[in-house]
């Protein structure tokens, strides 16, 4: 104890912050640990760690050496440790992997421990240990299959371990499936953190449970973990409160080997083959739902147990199990009734009981009491919650429903019937193989001995239990086929439980006593349960599609088993350690109650000391330990349950979601149906429309074809008409042609007619003529006649006057002859005259032509001359113009000068100026007045302007000749005085003028020269003419030239050369009149001659 105190001191110092102290103490601990082999120090350390969570202690603990961690052989601790390990493993999948081999070592060691029992512990403990090892096996195999298997392989390949393997491990392996990881995974892959990352703790647990074939451990995906539910219920019957909430008390279902959810029939078959023992599973408490643990409320309706129980019953009846309890006897019906009565109150009572139990346990586990308390609270709350939760699935299941159930039931019924037949056939007791590892092995042997009995009783069972059967049939209603088994079931269950049978009964009785509530009528209870059975059944139906396969396979398997049924080996491994433990507990509980019953009720613990003296301490110790173990087990199971609860909640959520989705799907399907209906409707209407459309189209086509045919007909008609019209047109053309021909003919005819008429008229004329001629002829004839008569008369006269006439006639003849000759000469004369006159006419005509020609020539020439003259005139005119300008300029100058003189203002100059002015005036007067009379003055003036002409003018004898100077061009008057006309002075200028014009013409042999005769002729004529005129002028000699000029002037106005008019009248009267006169003369001459010539 001193050491203990010392240690506690040291422990307190362990947390000191001083590093040196820390190290010292650590070394002290380690030394201690090394030196001291007892567990004392370690335990203290662990306790301390649990209390303070000290890291240092943890460090020390983790560095514990070999002796400490392995020497402990206390089963309780071992079991607790293993359970803790199992609990921890799924929580630390990743971090725990480094200790994997340690875990495996633990397993190996413990498994061998189980067998060899080195600590020589009581077998009861061993059961616990075995169960926990079994759980460890499952966990390890579930989590690290490859590694674990390889460990197993290596570990049990050693000879010394072979036995352990055969005895312990192999049976365990029978409860697991082949892990899929063994196929797909590898050692390394198992340890891959990624594998664990997406899994939560409960996922890992479920993973492990999945590969388990043990119904207690196994979990079936989709949450059909019916077995636990059932087991829970069963536990309520078997054990006191502590068993109620634990799921591990369901060994009955251990043989539900099917991996998936098993329909009850299947399970029943498996049952048949495996375990008859505790067929009494049906519990009304389950019906009430009060006692069911919170686990898997959504998944499993409590009703599940009902069919199971029945099935178990049958199986139990059919088969002997190794555990097979002495099926001695209790009358089955009453048992079943008992159950019905008892269980519900039990359930109600239990919780407080359990609390008590927990209290009693508490001293053992001081430090866990709060935990357990929590658990307890949780449990209660969970149980409450479970009710409500459970209601929901039930409700849901109710909704979905029983449609298939009947069918299924029927089917199952048929199968089960068959099975029952088989079972009855195979009912031979099977020798229990037993002898595993468990303490029950021994129990199982007697069981097997009794098996034959039980089977026989079972075979009789059905017949016996007809009554309950009927009753149950009444209760269960639709489930008839299943119920057929129920009577078998119950009694069998009771029978199978025979070893505990009495106790059972007692317990039930006791519970009856205990229950504060009055008995609930069994009928009602059952009714209640059975009333709810259909929805429960239905739950299986939901799973049926999945399980159908299993069913068949199971069936065949089972049949095979049946065939091989004799061999016990098949059945042997089916007992799992858990089951054994379960049973142990059950038995223990029974024993305990028995004991308690013996004692006085109020206080059991006191009783022992009080009554029976000191109870054997060893036993008490054992019991305590057992209790402890149970508690551990309980905690472990709680942990599992919690994991399951977690999972279940999640699954429930999924289910809700799924149902919601299903509903949604249903709604969608409805909609789809509606839409399909719509579509079909539309299709129908479309078809209708199409049909109508087709019809319409056909109609239209017919109409079209009709129209086409009409069109064709019409076209045909049109063509015909066209042809007809063509024909008609051709006819018309023919007619026209004919008409034209006819017209032509008509015309011809008309012509002919006209012609004929003409002819006729001619003929008629002729006729009339001829008629007139005839008349004339007649007249002439008459005349002739008359004349003839006259002639005759004359002849007569002549004859009368004959002689006288001849002379006369001759004379007359002569006279006639003479007269004729005269006339003839006259005629001759006349003829001659005519000839001469004709000759004369010809001559004259030729003459006339010549005259005309000449005239034309003359005209042309005249024009030419006129043009020439005009050109000259223009030149002269311009010159004149220039002169005028010059004069103006001069005048301007003079005036200017005058102006200047005046400005000088000198009188002298003034006088001079007046003189000058007078002189100027005189000059002006001379200019004005001197024109008519004084030619000289004019000439002088002209000379002033044109000095050159002065000399010839002065040389000329007469003024008239001086006037020639004005002509300018005819400069030499001497030349002009031609020898032809020396006498004619007056005429001279004219003639000269004439000749000057003629002279160049003679020189140029153009026009006139070609006709000299005519020229002479003309000249003569002209001369004659001019002579006459000049003579007349000579007569008027006294007259001045002026008068002549004046007379001529009038003629000149008519002259086409009017340009010369202005200068004529104004400034130059003298020279130009002459000139103009000559021109005018020429003009006159021309026309006169032309006029005179023909005369």
- Residues near other proteins (CB under 8 A) are 864, 867-868, 870-872, 874-876, 878-879, 881-883, 885-886, 888-890, 892-893, 896, 946, 968-969, 1000
Tell me the residue ranges of DSSP E strands in 27-173.
Answer: none
| Least distance between other proteins and beta carbon 1017 (Å) | 27
> End-to-end CA distance of the chain, in Å?
210
CA distances to 90, 215, 574, 1003 from 259, rounded to whole Å, are: 22, 9, 15, 167
| Least distance between other proteins and beta carbon 877 (Å) | 9
- Residue nearer to other proteins on the CB measure, 694 or 885: 885
Q: How far apart, in whole angstroms, are the C-alpha atoms of residue 1072 and residue 1045?
A: 9
Q: In a 10 Å sphere around its CB, with 0-12 CB exposed, 13-18 middle and 19+ buried, how is residue 681 labelled?
A: exposed
Q: Which two tokens stand for residue 732?
A: 């018309």
| Least distance between other proteins and beta carbon 889 (Å) | 6
| Least distance between other proteins and beta carbon 964 (Å) | 15
- Residue nearer to other proteins on the CB measure, 108 or 967: 967
| Least distance between other proteins and beta carbon 863 (Å) | 10
- Residue nearer to other proteins on the CB measure, 783 or 872: 872
Query: 1076 and 1052 in contact (C-beta within 8 Å)?
Result: yes
Q: How far apart, in whole angstroms, are the C-alpha atoms of residue 325 and residue 280?
A: 12
- Residue nearer to other proteins on the CB measure, 509 or 865: 865
Q: How far apart, in whole angstroms, are the C-alpha atoms of residue 214 and residue 577?
A: 10
| Least distance between other proteins and beta carbon 894 (Å) | 9
| Least distance between other proteins and beta carbon 912 (Å) | 20
- Residue nearer to other proteins on the CB measure, 228 or 973: 973
Q: How far apart, in whole angstroms, are the C-alpha atoms of residue 410 and residue 1004?
A: 169
Tokens 């000579």 map to which residue? 1034
Q: How far apart, in whole angstroms, are the C-alpha atoms of residue 1065 and residue 869?
A: 19
| Least distance between other proteins and beta carbon 941 (Å) | 15
| Least distance between other proteins and beta carbon 997 (Å) | 11
Q: Name beta bridge partners: 176.
A: 212
Nearest of 1070, 756, 745 to residue 930 by alpha carbon: 1070
Query: What is the maximum alpha-carbon separation in the chain?
Result: 260
Tell me the residue ranges of DSSP E strands in 298-415.
Answer: none
| Least distance between other proteins and beta carbon 948 (Å) | 9
- Residue nearer to other proteins on the CB measure, 167 or 877: 877
CA distances to 1023, 1035, 1089 from 1031, rounded to whole Å, are: 12, 6, 18
- Residue nearer to other proteins on the CB measure, 591 or 897: 897
- Residue nearer to other proteins on the CB measure, 660 or 886: 886
Helix, strand, coil percentages (3-state) for the chain, rounded to 5, are: 80, 0, 20
- Residue nearer to other proteins on the CB measure, 101 or 945: 945
- Residue nearer to other proteins on the CB measure, 769 or 883: 883
Query: 423 and 317 in contact (C-beta within 8 Å)?
Result: yes
Dihedral Cα 412, 418, 424, 428, nearest 10 deg = -90
Q: How far apart, in whole angstroms, are the C-alpha atoms of residue 572 and residue 270?
A: 13
Residue 1036 backbone phi and psi in degrees, to 5: -95, 50
Q: How far apart, in whole angstroms, are the C-alpha atoms of residue 304 and residue 536?
A: 6
Q: Where do the H-state alpha helices sit in 121-191?
A: 123-143, 145-156, 159-164, 170-173, 180-184, 187-191
Q: Where do the H-state alpha helices sit in 905-986?
A: 907-929, 935-945, 950-955, 959-967, 973-976
| Least distance between other proteins and beta carbon 1088 (Å) | 27
- Residue nearer to other proteins on the CB measure, 135 or 942: 942
Q: Which two tokens stand for residue 890?
A: 């001069």
- Residue nearer to other proteins on the CB measure, 892 or 927: 892
Contacts of 123 by beta carbon, 8 Å cutoff, 6+ apart: 439
| Least distance between other proteins and beta carbon 875 (Å) | 4
| Least distance between other proteins and beta carbon 1005 (Å) | 13
Q: What is the DSSP string of 450-479?
A: HHHHHHHHHHHHHHHTHHHHHHHHHHHGGG
| Least distance between other proteins and beta carbon 1000 (Å) | 6
- Residue nearer to other proteins on the CB measure, 877 or 1093: 877
CA distances to 98, 148, 150, 151, 559 from 101, rounded to whole Å, are: 8, 9, 11, 8, 42
- Residue nearer to other proteins on the CB measure, 446 or 968: 968
Mind spelling out the 3-state secondary structure of 291-310? CCCCCCCCCCCHHHHHHHHH
- Residue nearer to other proteins on the CB measure, 900 or 1054: 900
CA distances to 38, 189, 437, 819 from 113, rounded to whole Å, are: 20, 31, 11, 222
| Least distance between other proteins and beta carbon 1085 (Å) | 22
- Residue nearer to other proteins on the CB measure, 882 or 1062: 882
| Least distance between other proteins and beta carbon 871 (Å) | 3
């Amino acid at each position: 104890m001193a050491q203990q105190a010392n240690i506690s001191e040291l422990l307190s110092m362990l947390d000191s912050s001083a590093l040196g102290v820390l190290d010292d103490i650590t070394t002290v601990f380690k030394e201690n640990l090394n030196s001291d082999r007892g567990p004392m120090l370690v335990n203290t350390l662990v306790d301390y760690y649990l209390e303070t969570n000290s890291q240092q202690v943890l460090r020390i603990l983790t560095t514990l050496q070999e002796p400490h961690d392995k020497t402990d052989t206390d089963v309780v601790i071992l079991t607790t440790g293993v359970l803790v390990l199992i609990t921890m493993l799924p929580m630390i999948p990743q971090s725990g992997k480094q200790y994997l081999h340690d875990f495996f070592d633990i397993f190996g060691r413990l498994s061998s421990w189980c067998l060899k029992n080195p600590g020589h512990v009581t077998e009861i403990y061993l059961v616990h240990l075995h169960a926990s090892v079994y759980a460890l096996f499952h966990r390890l195999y579930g989590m690290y299959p490859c590694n674990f298997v390889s460990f197993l392989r290596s570990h049990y390949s050693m000879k010394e371990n072979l036995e352990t393997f055969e005895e312990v491990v192999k049976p365990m392996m029978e409860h697991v499936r082949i892990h899929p990881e063994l196929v797909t995974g590898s050692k390394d892959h198992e340890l891959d953190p990624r594998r664990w990352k997406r899994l939560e703790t409960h996922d890992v647990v479920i993973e492990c449970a999945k590969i388990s074939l043990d119904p207690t451990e196994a979990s079936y995906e989709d949450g059909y973990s019916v077995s636990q539910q059932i087991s829970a219920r069963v536990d309520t019957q078997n054990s006191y409160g502590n068993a109620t909430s634990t799921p591990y008390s369901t060994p009955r279902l251990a043989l539900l080997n099917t991996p998936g959810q098993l329909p009850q029939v299947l399970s029943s078959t498996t049952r048949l083959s495996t375990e008859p023992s505790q067929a009494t599973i049906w519990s009304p408490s389950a019906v009430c739902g009060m006692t069911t643990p919170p686990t898997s409320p959504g998944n499993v309706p409590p009703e599940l147990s009902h069919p199971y129980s029945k099935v178990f019953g049958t199986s139990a009846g059919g088969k002997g199990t190794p555990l097979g309890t002495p099926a001695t006897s209790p009358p089955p019906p009453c048992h079943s009734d008992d159950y019905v009565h008892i269980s519900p109150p039990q359930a109600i009572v239990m919780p407080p009981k359990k609390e008590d139990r927990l209290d009693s346990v508490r001293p053992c586990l001081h430090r866990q009491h709060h935990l357990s308390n929590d658990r307890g609270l949780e449990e209660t709350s969970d149980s409450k919650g479970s009710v409500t939760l459970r209601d929901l699935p039930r409700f849901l299941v109710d909704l979905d429903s029983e449609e298939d159930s009947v069918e299924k039931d029927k089917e199952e019924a048929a199968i089960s019937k068959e099975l029952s037949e088989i079972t009855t056939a195979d009912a031979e007791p099977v020798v229990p193989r037993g002898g595993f590892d468990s303490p029950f092995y021994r129990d199982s042997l007697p069981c097997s001995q009794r098996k034959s009995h039980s089977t026989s009783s079972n075979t009789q069972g059905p017949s016996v239990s007809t009554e309950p059967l009927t009753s149950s049939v009444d209760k269960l209603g639709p489930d008839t086929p299943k119920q057929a088994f129920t009577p078998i079931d119950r009694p069998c269950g009771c029978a199978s439980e025979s070893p505990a049978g009495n106790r059972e009964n007692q317990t039930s009785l006791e519970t009856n006593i205990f229950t504060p509530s009055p008995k609930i009528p069994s009928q009602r209870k059952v009714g209640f349960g059975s009333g709810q059975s259909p929805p429960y059944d239905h739950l299986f139906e939901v799973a049926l599609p999945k399980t159908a396969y299993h069913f068949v396979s199971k069936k065949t398997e089972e049949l095979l088993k049946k065939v091989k049924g004799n061999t016990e080996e098949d059945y042997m491994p089916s007992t799992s350690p858990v089951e054994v433990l379960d049973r142990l507990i059950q038995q223990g509980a029974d024993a305990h109650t028995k004991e308690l019953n013996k004692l006085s009720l109020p206080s059991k613990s006191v009783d022992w000391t009080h009554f029976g003296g000191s109870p054997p301490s060893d036993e008490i110790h054992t019991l305590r330990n057992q209790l402890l173990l149970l508690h551990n087990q309980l905690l472990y199971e709680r942990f599992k349950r919690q994991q399951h609860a977690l999972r279940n909640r999640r699954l429930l959520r999924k289910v809700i979601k799924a149902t919601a989705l299903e509903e949604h799907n249903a709604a969608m399907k409805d909609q789809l149906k509606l839409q399909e209906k719509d579509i079909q409707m539309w299709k129908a209407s479309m078809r209708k429309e199409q049909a109508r459309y087709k019809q319409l189209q056909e109609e239209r086509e017919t109409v079209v074809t009709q129209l086409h045919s009409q069109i064709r007909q019409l076209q045909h008609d049109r063509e015909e008409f066209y042809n007809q019209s063509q024909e008609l047109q051709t006819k018309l053309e023919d007619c026209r042609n004919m008409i034209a021909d006819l017209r032509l003919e008509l015309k011809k005819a008309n012509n002919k007619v006209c012609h004929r008429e003409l002819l006729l008229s001619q003929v008629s004329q002729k006729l009339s003529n001829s008629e007139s001629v005839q008349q004339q002829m007649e007249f002439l004839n008459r005349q002739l006649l008359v004349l003839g008569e006259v002639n005759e008369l004359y002849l007569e006269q002549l004859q009368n006057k004959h002689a006288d006439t001849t002379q006369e006639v001759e004379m007359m003849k002569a006279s006639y002859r003479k007269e004729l000759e005269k006339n003839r000469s006259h005629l001759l004369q006349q003829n001659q005259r005519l000839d001469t006159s004709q000759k004369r006419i010809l001559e004259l005509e030729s003459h006339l032509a010549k005259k005309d020609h000449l005239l034309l020539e003359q005209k042309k020439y005249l024009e030419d001359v006129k043009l020439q003259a005009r050109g000259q005139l223009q030149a002269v005119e311009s010159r004149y113009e220039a002169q005028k300008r010059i004069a103006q300029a001069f005048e301007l100058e003079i005036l200017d000068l005058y102006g200047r003189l005046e400005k000088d203002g000198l009188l002298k100059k003034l006088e001079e100026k007046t003189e000058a002015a007078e002189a100027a005036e005189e000059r002006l007067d001379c200019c004005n007045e001197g024109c008519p009379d004084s030619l000289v003055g004019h000439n002088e003036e002209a000379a002033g302007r044109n000095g050159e002409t002065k000399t010839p003018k002065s040389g000329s004898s007469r003024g008239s000749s001086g006037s020639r100077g004005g002509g300018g061009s005819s400069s030499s008057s001497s030349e002009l005085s031609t020898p032809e006309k020396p006498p004619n002075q007056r005429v001279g200028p004219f003639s000269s003028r004439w000749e000057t014009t003629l002279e160049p013409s003679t020189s140029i042999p153009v026009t006139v020269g070609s006709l000299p005769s005519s020229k002479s002729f003309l000249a003569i004529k002209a001369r004659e003419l001019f002579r006459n005129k000049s003579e007349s002028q000579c007569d008027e000699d006294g007259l001045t030239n002026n008068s002549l000029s004046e007379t001529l002037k009038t003629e000149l106005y008519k002259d086409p050369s009017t340009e010369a008019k202005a200068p004529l009248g104004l400034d130059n009267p003298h020279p130009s009149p002459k000139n103009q006169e000559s021109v005018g003369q020429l003009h006159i001459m021309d026309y006169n001659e032309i006029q005179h010539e023909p005369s």
